Amino acid sequence: MNNVIIIGSGPAGLTAAITCAQKGLEVYVIDEYMKPGGRLLGQLYEQPDGTWWNGINESNKLFQQAVDLGIQFYLETAVFNIEKKDNRWKVYTDKETFQTTNLLLATGAAEAPVPIPGWTLPGVMSVGAAQVMTNVHRVKPGNRGIIIGINVLSSAIAMELKLAGVDIACLALPKNNQITHESAHPKKVLDSLLHVAHMAPSSFVKLGSKLMKNNFMKELGVTFFPRNGVKMWDIPIQLKKAVIEIYGEQEVAGVTIASISSKGEVIEGSEENIAVDFVCIAGGLYPLGELAALTGCPFHYIEELGGYVPLHNEQMETPVEGLFVAGNITGIEGAKVAAAQGRVAGLSIAERTGQHQLEEELKDAIKQVADTRKNAYIQFHPEVESGRRTVQMEWEEYWSKREQII
């Protein structure tokens, strides 16, 4: 018998599990992947203080701590439905059906696709898939690749691929169409990159980001952005080139790339071919809320948080009784924020099981989330705090309008 089931064993799920177990709760953790750690597993980067953040080590530490606390893990177990019956959650998986009174969804995020002609060829993968192959399975996705889509995630993974000895021809934009939209617009992309420029080891980029605080300078920045790109970790970042096609007979053989105007329009006659044996597409992350959606939990679209997020409060409760959320399902942020949210969710669940005197701890944990967010090295969206405030406002509006859903 358990007190809580946690779906997802990433930083949020594991931290929540540990918190619950420390409060004496029986905890089950379910994850569809074969290893615990979630997206934490793929992370590998140098921190501002010069030490390396190795996601595999971080995952192992959390997992070991959880196992020592007696937490039960069900890995390689896919949840395909959840249902509430007689005030208990039924969690249907491809292995068995579980029941619980408290359910935490820590399902993280998924990658958004970027359609490019030829993108269904074998050898085309999401940038996250290339990261998992390289950092988790230690298999090279190919010898030479190109990354389509320039954002925080793709530039970090480009560096990791390089560390693993995989050649990256460049990072370029996708061709502009009704789906790629802003991700194909040089100025919009530059805009979103400016706030992560401090990560760039290139002083040109750092200096550039200071100069480009206003719109006029940004316009100039895009206009004068070098045709051959700016190099980060020795990889050219091509803000003014777009991949217009991926070609190959049976599998990827290369891409056709063309120069684009500062508005993203292809300049005729500038096409050239680049031979590669794999292609990564990087459309960014969106919160994976499918299970929450099945419960009838209300959702709201919040651009700054990466898409539709289930309504929740600072205690990580949803309006659905006994349903909690933590981590990227609530909005796209880094692993440390996710872990801090996991702790909050764990304490809220412990409180719901009847434990007292957790108010102070819960208050501290909530503050910890805000502090972690403020000090985060990487912000996936510069306005993430405003997105968080929107959720709070929606939460209050929701309660002012109606009674709790049962």
Partner 1 sequence: MAECEMIICRCEEVTYQELLDTAITYNCSARELKLRTRAGMGYCGGRTCRSMVDQVAKQVGSEQSKKSISLKYQAPIRPVNFVDLGGEGK
Amino acid at site 55 = G
- Contact status: 290 vs partner 1 (CB under 8 A): yes
- Contact status: 312 vs partner 1 (CB under 8 A): no
- Taking the complex as a whole, the smallest distance from the CB of residue 309 to partner 1 amounts, in Å, to 10
- Contact status: 392 vs partner 1 (CB under 8 A): no
CB atoms within 10 A of CB 38: 26
C-alpha distances out from residue 322 to 1, 13, 15, 350, Å: 16, 16, 18, 11
Q: In whole angstroms, what is the distance from residue 98 CA to residue 79 CA? A: 10
**Between 227 and 246, how does the x/- string for binding to partner 1 read (CB under 8 A)?**
------------------x-
Instruction: State which residue, 287 or 334, has the beta carbon closest to partner 1.
Output: 287
Range in contact with partner 1 (rule: CB under 8 A) among 7-15, 20-28, 174-182, 269-277: 174-182
- Contacts of partner 1 in 120-139 (CB under 8 A): 120
Spatial contact of 218 and 190, defined as CB atoms under 8 Å apart: yes
Instruction: State which residue, 167 or 245, has the beta carbon closest to partner 1.
Output: 245
Spatial contact of 139 and 133, defined as CB atoms under 8 Å apart: yes
- Contact status: 383 vs partner 1 (CB under 8 A): no
Spatial contact of 176 and 165, defined as CB atoms under 8 Å apart: no
Q: Supply 51's token pair.
A: 């030490």
Select the residue interacting with partner 1 from 119, 225, 380, 395 (CB under 8 A): 119
Select the residue interacting with partner 1 from 8, 10, 11, 118 (CB under 8 A): 118
- Contact status: 373 vs partner 1 (CB under 8 A): no
Spatial contact of 322 and 89, defined as CB atoms under 8 Å apart: yes
- Contact status: 248 vs partner 1 (CB under 8 A): no
Rounded to 10 deg, the angle between the 335-352 and 359-374 helix axes is 170
Select the residue interacting with partner 1 from 57, 64, 81, 215 (CB under 8 A): 81
C-alpha distances out from residue 259 to 240, 252, 270, Å: 6, 21, 6
Q: Supply 321's token pair.
A: 């009784």
Using CB under 8 A, list all residues that contact partner 1.
32, 78-81, 92, 94-97, 110, 112-113, 115-120, 175, 177-179, 181, 245, 247, 283, 286, 289-291, 293-294, 298-302, 307-308
